[in-house]
Amino acid sequence: MSLKITREKYPYRQAALGIVINDNKQFLIIQKLSYQENEWSFAGGGIEENETPKQALLRELEEELGSKKFEVIAESKTPYSYEWPDEAILRQYQKTGKLYRGAQIKYFLVKFFGDKEELKLQDDELKLIKWVTPQQLPNHLIFPGQWQAAKKVIKEFNLSF
C-alpha cells in the first residue's frame, strides 16, 4: 500500500504563516533546509495542541527568527490547503510520529517593527531569510499554487504598493 493510494485518509497539518512586512514595504521570506536553492516561503509553522493559529505563528516567528518584534495586523478569512510530496509526509512522520497528507494554512498579515540585523535565523531549520519587494515575490514563491494563494491573501489584506 503506497502513500499515494491512502493519503486521502490522513488529515491536513494545521499551520499558520505570516506575510511579514516592514516599513520599507518589503516582504520577509524564508528558505528551509529542505528547500532547493530557488524555493522560498513565508515564515511560520505548525499549530500545536492547545494553541490558537495566532499564538502558533508568534511562537514560530520567535523560534525561527529570534525576535519578538512582530505584530499581527490581520487574519485572512481564506485558508489554503496543499498536498505534500511523499518524502515530506515521511519526514513529518519521522519527526512527529503522525501522518499528514499536507498542510492547511491560516495566513496572517504581520508587521516587523525591529531592525533587519536583529533577525537571527534558526539554523537547524532555515538556510536563509530575505526581504523582497512585492514585484520579486512571484519569482520566489514557486511551489504549485503558492503564488496564487499568496496573491489572493495579499489582495484580501488590501496591500497596495
CB 42 within 8 A of CB 84: no
DSSP label at 66? S
Is there a domain that residue 104 lies in? yes
**pLDDT confidence bin for 5, thresholds 50/70/90:** low
CA–CA dist 120, 93 (Å, integer): 28
Helix or strand run (H / E) with residue 139: helix 137-140
Domain count, the chain: 1
pLDDT at 84: 87
- Among 69, 22, 65, 21, which residue's Cα sits nearest to residue 44? 65
CATH number, domain containing residue 57? 3.90.79.10
Q: Is residue 161 assigned to a domain?
A: no
What is the value of pTM for the model shown?
Answer: 0.89
12 domain-assigned:
yes
Q: How far apart are CA 42 and CA 159, in angstroms?
A: 16
Q: Which domain holds residue 15?
A: 3-156
The pLDDT tens digits for 24-52 are 999 999 999 989 999 999 999 999 989 99
In a domain, 47, yes or no: yes
pLDDT digits (tens, 9 = 90+) for 103-125: 999 999 999 999 988 999 888 88
